[in-house]
Amino acid sequence: MFRLLLIALLCAVALARAATNAPADLLNDLFAPADTNAMAALATNQCPHALPSFHDGYQFPEQRVAVPVSLLWRGADTVLLIVLLGAGAWLFHGHRDRRWLWLPLGLGLLWFGFLRHGCICPVGATGNVAAALARPEALPISLFTVLAFLLPLAAALLCGRVFCSAVCPLGALQELVGWRARRVPRRLDRVLRLGGWLMLAATLAGAVWQLALPVCKFDPFVTFFRRTGVREMWLYSAAFLLLCVLVARPYCRWVCPYAKLLGLFAKISFLGRRIEQTDCVRCKSCESTCPVDAIRDSHVDLFACIACGRCTETCPHAAVR
């Protein structure tokens, strides 16, 4: 009942914001200056093009520059990221009751999602690191961005994709609303999984050649986390949220480019989820309960496994370890 009320509330907020805030946002996008030089020229009334002459006493507003995020916030983000990754790894491998994973996952949703407005962004971290490596003189990169990119990969190499199961706010929101989530047919799922590779290629291409992140426009959750956006984005976010109710983790499986990088590291992980063949009785309870279809013929596909813990919880012979 709580999940139904939450889904209805989020969709209602999305539709309300789409109906009320669209005109102002669209006008701001249409008439925003192209760069800071144009802003400076307008502020000093020295635009190279002719401006209409009015004498109504209007004064251009003072220019304001966004204040950089303080080191204290960045330090708190980094410490919490490390703590949640460690807690997720410990709970994933040390407890058969997966409900404990909601502790770090819920904290990650509240902190990185709603309080920090979608930071950590797996798409943004991937693009920023790629752009900084391609053109270090044009785009300086912060230590936090590097750590946000590398630490989940290191955790995946050690014990699987615990970032997906215990930290990522995007994954947490999908888990929260996916109370009726079902798997899709394997053939369709195999085709849709190519979307993540395409998004990864688009992320790297846009970051390297244009120092831009065009794929961020396809992030359906940033609208909820930042509570802003044009009407089309609110409608898109509401539709994707409804999809998450019926399909298990669609963004993680078919869209997220960072998930592909995590999968590559998790595939060779030292402590990834495995099934002991000597204890397995081939009941396929783990295979039927896996939401992302990562278990086939009593073998775990570590690339696709999101470390949710459902297989461990449902195995009657404790063969999944």
User: pLDDT tens across 262-276, in order?
Assistant: 999 999 988 888 888
Using the predicted structure, report yes or no on whether residue 84 has a pLDDT greater than 90: yes
Report the pLDDT value the prediction gives residue 186, as an integer from 0 to 100: 85
**Mean pLDDT on 190-205:** 89
Pairwise CA distance, residues 82 & 23, whole Å: 42
Rounded distance between C-alpha atoms, residue 156 and residue 266, angstroms? 5
Q: Residue 60 and residue 63: Cα distance in Å, rounded? A: 9
Q: Which residues contact 232 (CB under 8 A, 6 or more apart)?
A: 18
Model pTM score = 0.76
The continuous run of DSSP H or E covering 241 comes out as helix 231-246
Structure tokens of 82? 């490390």
Q: In degrees to the nearest 10, what's the CA dihedral of 154, 157, 159, 164?
A: 70
- Average pLDDT estimate for 161-173: 91
pLDDT grade for 25, boundaries at 50, 70 and 90: very low
